[in-house]
């Protein structure tokens, strides 16, 4: 009968090979498979019923489809569990000192701030601090520095000695070699993580009011106590 032919085609399609099984699995769920199988039994020719071997084979195929769904569900549960575990592990970063790509510097209530930078060759360097309007707040002479990674401290005062309010500032490092040529300086954000937001798809770390994406973090160390 037509129904028997259709069901047989479907079941053969499901069981033909691993790749074919995967394709059938993605397009035919367990309920649909069972519905078609029962329809085949109900519409079979009573004078020529389904062979017992064919019946066993189709039941085995149904079992394979069910197992595939169970495996998929278990994998999804495992992945969700692992993602959740990895997400909450980031909470251990609270109180840690981090370094990240960027040119921001956070001045906290302590009245001090630190920044980092990397220079490609030996140079005389100066850190220039800017407010949110782009005005120069202070220029800090760092002197002659060897090539590599370095940090500097800002005491939170302006060029005239006035104390600046807590908040986020930006900075750049101006560097020149002995010949007076500009040396490239790559700036780095530094600070201690004191808050983490878990609201979005990716945790957001905070140094005071300065927000950092987790993917921007390049180094994590224990804060000096």
Domain limits, the chain: 2-90, 94-222
d(CA 102, CA 132): 15
Strands 185-192 and 113-119: antiparallel
Select the more confidently predicted residue: 72 or 111: 111
d(CA 117, CA 113): 14
| Alpha-carbon distances, residue 20 vs 17, 31, 57, 176, 213 (angstroms) | 5, 19, 17, 65, 42
Residue with structure tokens 């100066």? 126
Asked if residue 189 lies in contact with residue 104, where contact means CB atoms within 8 angstroms, the answer is yes
Provide the pLDDT for residue 178: 93
3-state secondary structure of 70: helix
pTM: 0.58
Give the full edge-to-edge strand order of the sheet including 148-154. 148-154, 113-119, 185-192, 96-101, 217-222
| CATH code given to domain 94-222 | 2.60.40.4070
- For 59-73, 91-105, 138-152, which range has the lowest pLDDT when averaged over its residues? 59-73
Provide the pLDDT for residue 77: 62
In this predicted structure, the answer to whether residue 105 has a pLDDT above a threshold of 70 is: yes
Nearest 10 degrees: CA dihedral of 122, 127, 132, 133? Answer: -90
């Amino acid at each position: 009968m037509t129904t028997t032919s259709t069901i047989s085609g479907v079941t053969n399609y499901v069981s033909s090979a691993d790749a074919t099984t995967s394709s059938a699995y993605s397009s035919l769920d367990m309920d649909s498979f069972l519905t078609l199988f029962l329809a085949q039994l109900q519409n079979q020719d009573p004078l020529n019923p389904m062979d017992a071997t064919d019946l066993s084979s189709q039941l085995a195929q149904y079992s394979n489809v069910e197992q595939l769904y169970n495996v998929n569900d278990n994998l999804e549960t495992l992945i969700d569990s692992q993602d959740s575990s990895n997400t909450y592990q980031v909470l251990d970063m609270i109180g840690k000192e981090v370094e990240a790509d960027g040119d921001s510097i956070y001045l906290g209530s302590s009245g001090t701030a630190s920044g980092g930078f990397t220079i490609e060759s030996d140079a005389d360097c100066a850190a220039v601090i800017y407010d949110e309007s782009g005005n120069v707040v202070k220029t800090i002479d760092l002197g002659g520095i060897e090539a590599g990674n370095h940090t500097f401290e800002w005491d939170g005062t302006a060029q005239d000695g006035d104390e600046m309010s807590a908040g986020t500032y930006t900075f750049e490092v101006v560097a020149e070699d002995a010949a007076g040529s500009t040396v490239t300086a790559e700036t780095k954000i530094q600070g201690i993580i004191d808050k983490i937001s878990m609201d979005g798809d990716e945790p957001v770390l905070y140094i005071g009011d300065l927000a950092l994406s987790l993917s921007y973090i390049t180094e994590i160390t224990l804060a000096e106590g």
